[in-house]
Amino acid sequence: MKRLEEYVRSIPDFPEEGIIFRDVTSILQDADGLALSIDGIIEMLKETEYDVVVGPESRGFIFGVPVAYAMHKSFVPVRKKGKLPCETIEMSYDLEYGSATIEMHRDAIQPGQKVVIVDDLIATGGTIEAIVRMVEQLGGQVVKICFVMELAGLKGREKLEGYDVRSLICYPGN
């Protein structure tokens, strides 16, 4: 079996010149790559005590749900504003060009629950920072944040300082 890094397709000059796009779909479309990524996240959580897995749409669902299932934990989806049917809390955050708002159900996290956040990629960290704030607003405790890939040059970890952040693959640039 190859290393996980070997399943990532790198596309130069996308979406603009000078950017190397790291494509997670090439991990997903290979059974071994998918297994390596899910097993790798589970391994990161081996010594962690937690109650619930939280993941943002859509790729946080792809990686978070199998982890939650394998570890017999619940899964909480975080979605774009207006996509969840019950009472929600929301958080806005800045993007490179503009802003976005995400939501989670108000009853999704109970006070005192230990939470793991799972997503495919950390870049600038804005989405995950917003999720952390929502979890804490509901009384949850974020005990670990796991990513398949990290673009270290975009300094997303700086927004998550003080939290246990792990990634399976770390690219030094952006």
Q: What is the pLDDT of residues 47-95, one digit of tens each?
A: 999 999 999 999 999 999 999 999 999 999 999 999 999 999 999 998 7
SS3 136: helix
DSSP string across 29-84? TSHHHHHHHHHHHHHHTTT---SEEEEETTHHHHHHHHHHHHTT-EEEEEEETT--
The residues annotated as belonging to the active site are: 59, 96
pLDDT digits (tens, 9 = 90+) for 110-135: 999 999 999 999 999 999 999 999 99
Question: Is 97's pLDDT higher than 90?
Answer: no
Question: What DSSP character marks residue 122?
Answer: E
